[in-house]
Amino acid sequence: MRKPQLSARDAIAKAVTTAVRRSFAEDHEDFGFAHDPLPAPAFRAGSQVAGHDSSRVPVVPEAEVAIRQTDDGPGLFFSYKAEYGQPPLWQMSVRHHWQSEVADAGWAVLDGRPVVDVLEWDETAVPRRPARVLTAKIWGEYDPSFHGWRSWADTITCRVDWTDTGHPVMTPPLGEPRSN
């Protein structure tokens, strides 16, 4: 059995925080906000000025992770608005076997993405490893009309391709961008 280097919760928090920071930095760069900032949104719900300032990427604190077991299908909820000054909150509903089969086995994060559920296993590998997973695409942008810097996530299904060195590479569905 693989031994995780971080707890599942810590690994997910790191992956989510990294994805939000990267998406904000990419949006900031792609739209040239450092040289041509947008005005602050007319409506500002929170009091954190950095959340409304497109000229710089706000500091994103380490995400908090809430995981609960469910009898329903697995899923997640994530929406982060920098304007409130709170850390991002990642909420996952997982099946009862997630802790033992996914988290304890070291599969909670693959290729930088949180694993919400393993949908198919590669039984030919010893030990077995995930072959298809329910994971998340984490988006982030500057919203000039309402919230300023914000991020959210959508669940997606990805195949897990394993390199010769044993490192997983997520293959998103057709049309899905590769980056987190």
Domain ranges of the chain: 8-171
Q: What is the pLDDT of residue 147?
A: 87
Q: What is the pLDDT of residue 145?
A: 87
User: Is 31 exposed, middle or buried, given 0-12, 13-18 or 19+ CB atoms closer than 10 A?
Assistant: middle
Q: What is the pLDDT of residue 104?
A: 94
Q: What is the pLDDT of residue 48?
A: 84
Q: What is the pLDDT of residue 1?
A: 46
Query: Model confidence over 18-67: pLDDT tens digits?
Result: 999 999 999 999 999 999 999 888 877 778 888 999 999 999 999 999 99
Q: What is the pLDDT of residue 177?
A: 55
Residues of the chain with pLDDT under 70: 1-5, 174-180
Give the containing element (helix H, strand E) for 84: none
Closest CA to 12 of 124, 112, 154: 112
For the chain, the distance separating the N- and C-terminal CA atoms, rounded to the nearest angstrom, is: 27
Q: What is the pLDDT of residue 40?
A: 86
Structure-token pair, residue 89? 């909150």
